[in-house]
Amino acid sequence: MKFMTMHKTIEDPGSELVVAFAYEGKFSANSHLKELDHWLDGYISNLFELERFTGKANKTEEIFPNNGIPAAKVLIVGLGKKADMSADMIREYGGMIGRSLADLKANSCTVYLPDVKASVVKSTEIGQAITEGIMLGAYTMDEYKSEPEEKILPESITLSPEQKSAVNGVDKGRAVGEVSAWAQNTVRDLVSHPAIHLTPTRFAQYAEQFAADYKFKCTILSKPEIKKLKMGCLLAVNAGSEQPPKFMILEYKGPKAKARKVCLVGKGITFDSGGYSLKGAAGMVDMKGDMAGAACVLAAVTAAARLKLPIHVYGLIPSTENLVSGKGYKPGDIITSYNGKTIEVTNTDAEGRLVLADALGYADTLEPDALIDIATLTGACQIALGYTSAGYFCNDDRLSDKLQKAAGTSSERIWRMPLWNDYKKYIESQLADIKNSAGRIGSFCTSAAFLSHFVGNNKWAHIDIAGMDVDVKGGSYIKKGSSGFGARLLLEFLRNW
């Protein structure tokens, strides 16, 4: 789909499909629809009068005019109450369009946009949100189906602001929206791949390809280099797998980048059996997605390069499988991390924090001005916050504010949790410096307490996306399955950096 921005009236020919929005309420509250209603001989106003369609959010009505209007198909999408207008409402509008495109089978499409006061939603925000919604809503993953359904999407989609003066703003937002939606859909793709396909080696190949395509540095460290760096945690988790580990170092330095650096770290467990602390069968099915945090880091760094952001950002991805074998690491083992801390392993299913420990220790040597890790780390996060929000811990209020601002823009909820020193007592070990798990009590917070031992004096945030990486309900622009949650959040953070 190729997006463009142009002010068009309903009489303008050129699109097979026309999409318009409706506010919830009576037809009289939708003055922008009067001209289209006239062309359709009062069809829309009649729908409102009969209460067959009232503009409720995410409700749609398909119309196939016989004559009069220079379009073969019309889609009306409910936007909800005008007083509740937000960028996410417009993203949902786009999502319903994206979900409908395959069924409507139009070669070209014009989407009419709300005229919103700049103080409520800016034209750039409208352009970004509608583009994200359409691309996210149209997403499908059918690579592994023997007979995938034929999907006909428009070759061109024209975004039409109500006012000509908004064209430039909408188009700037559209350019960002295409990249941010690409980032989220890329994460959805990567997480959806089965572990037999997405091994650490294949994951590293994706990173190398993105780096080559979008002109940023990518260094892949294999097992010999990882051993040389003495990353004992990553090597221990990898010991039970025949697939070699990879440590990926991404670096993008944009034009006019200032000296301040950001470092993103993502957990890259391409399959997690739990090791000797074996998961149950039901809990293992989705563990091909235990690399969702790493996928977010790869997508965010790539998106920053695509947008040519004036920033300096590193992305670090420790990647391995966590399997059971005669060589696998065991409860009771004591291992040494990259920064020299010794760790007593009390639970081999708490492997994500181990590989992050090595990566965070390495990140500390880069001396970043902000250090953020993202991971599907704990079931405790899912228990605490459900499928509604990710949890995060942060040792710096200004960094926390920046993350909250990014989350507000991306509409990806995050909730700050306490990072109290008391939790460090839970993971004290009699035999080593610390242990990797303190059991169920306070386990969400003790996971962050463990990671805090490896971040040095950096301003740091840990984002746990367990429960948010897979959408169990489905919505207007995210269907059930891999959600890609976190990619747009990180990109918004980088855009504001």
> Tokens representing 263?
């470092």
Taking the C-alpha atoms of residue 398 and residue 396, their distance in angstroms, rounded to an integer, is: 6
Residue with tokens 């789909």, as numbered in its chain: 1
Contacts of 474 (CB under 8 A, 6+ apart): 480
Taking the C-alpha atoms of residue 391 and residue 398, their distance in angstroms, rounded to an integer, is: 17
Q: Report whether 154 contacts 205 (CB < 8 A).
A: no
> Tokens representing 15?
């699109």
Taking the C-alpha atoms of residue 227 and residue 475, their distance in angstroms, rounded to an integer, is: 45
Taking the C-alpha atoms of residue 240 and residue 258, their distance in angstroms, rounded to an integer, is: 43
> Tokens representing 464?
């746990």
Question: Between the CA of residue 398 and those of 28, 234, 488, what are the distances in Å?
Answer: 46, 31, 20
The beta strands (E) that lie in 240-389 are given as 246-253, 261-266, 268-272, 312-322, 334-336, 342-344, 370-375
Angle between helices 167-192 and 292-306 (to 10 degrees): 150
Distance in Å from the first CA to the final CA of the chain: 30
Give me the count of residues in the chain.
Answer: 497
Question: Between the CA of residue 60 and those of 54, 77, 473, what are the distances in Å?
Answer: 10, 5, 19
Q: Within a 10 A sphere around the Cβ of 95, how many other Cβ atoms? A: 28
- Which residues are part of the catalytic machinery? 279, 353
Strands 156-160, 470-471: parallel, antiparallel or unpaired by DSSP?
A: unpaired
